[in-house]
Amino acid sequence: MVIKINLSFEEMWEKIIACDRKYDGLFFTAVKTTKIYCRPSCRSRKPKKVNVEFYYEINAVEEAGFRPCKRCQPEIEQSPHIEIVKNIITLLVNHYKQKIVLKDIADQIGLSPYYLERLFKQETSETPRTYLEKIRIDKAAYLLKSTKMSNLEICYEVGFQSPSNFYKVFRSLNNCSPSEYRKVIPE
């Protein structure tokens, strides 16, 4: 059973432009003109947006006639734990708005909280909490660019429980406040 992440085409496009490793294995980018598919983090030259399709499953992209990129090798699993980590990341991406604690994730995945955190950190170099914060800040940045919602509305929309924590995490990851980000980034 494949669990799909809840990202729009535009959000997935932003992830491939940013070469975002956080989404590797959760979706694949297929280029219609070259018939090649890649990971979101692939460093190859970016295709034209109109030539891109996104797939959630490696089997589906290969059945559609695409071949793997020789640079990022999306068909190769890097770790024996990659499936568990992908499930954790998918859970975080799909439930980023909710208050999530490590025990809830561990119960859902079927591991002890200690082992889950250790395994996740080993594979991603981050804790599930910091990973979740990055997902929330990604969503906030997207909303800052694409909506007229206030910073406070966005704070709660993306799952932060307190505005002070939202501003602190946003500044630490983007080196600016949400208001500064909105002014600097063109729509």
Three-state secondary structure readout of the chain: CCCCCCCCHHHHHHHHHCCCHHHECCEEEEECCCCEEECCCCCCCCCCHHHEEEECCHHHHHHCCCEECCCCCCCCCCCCCHHHHHHHHHHHHHCCCCCCCHHHHHHHHCCCHHHHHHHHHHHHCCCHHHHHHHHHHHHHHHHHHHCCCCHHHHHHHCCCCCHHHHHHHHHHHHCCCHHHHHHHCCC
Spot the catalytic one: 19, 38, 155, 176.
38
Whether 42 is catalytic is no
Catalytic (active-site) positions: 38
